[in-house]
Amino acid sequence: MFQLVYISTARQPIVPEMVEQILAASRRNNARNGISGLLVAGRRRFLQALEGPEQAVLDAYAEIKRDPRHHALVLLTGRSVETRAFGDWSMAFEAADEGRPQPGLAATVDALTASLADKSLRAHFLGFAELQSRAA
């Protein structure tokens, strides 16, 4: 099992229609390829974890890197793991509220990641959500 976590910047502000398109394709492709994960969207940034068969995860990441909606992708971690952190989530998702700080984002991400055994992985998502919550 392979797990990859990255952050990227959207070329345009993240709007619900963009997220719906990304999620529809991700969920379809991830279910087919045995990939699970979590996507958190801020106003201009995405933080995503992908996990599954190594080549499937690397192929999905390569596809994301080619997606013109993203730029400045930064790979935070890429490693072998014993078990899935995100179970059978083809792609769980949480977004910041458009145009306003969303204090609830951090609480929601905290609840979504509460069962994660990997404290470092959880910290990536909690830190990202906290920063997005404070962004104006």
Q: What's the pTM value of the predicted model, to 2 decimals?
A: 0.84
Nearest to 49 by CA among 126, 121, 112: 121
In a domain, 15, yes or no: yes
Q: Which residues, 6 or more positions from 51, have their beta carbon under 8 angstroms from its beta carbon? A: 1, 2, 3, 4, 35, 36, 37, 57, 81, 84, 85, 86
pLDDT tens digits along 112-123: 898 899 999 999
In a domain, 51, yes or no: yes
Residue labelled with tokens 């993240």:
14
What domain range is 84 assigned to?
Answer: 2-99
pLDDT tens digits along 98-116: 444 445 788 888 888 988 9
Average pLDDT over residues 72-101: 75
Checking if the pLDDT of 28 tops 80, the result is yes
Name the band, by pLDDT with cuts 50, 70 and 90, for residue 96.
Answer: low
In a domain, 48, yes or no: yes
In a domain, 94, yes or no: yes
CATH of the domain at 43: 3.30.70.100
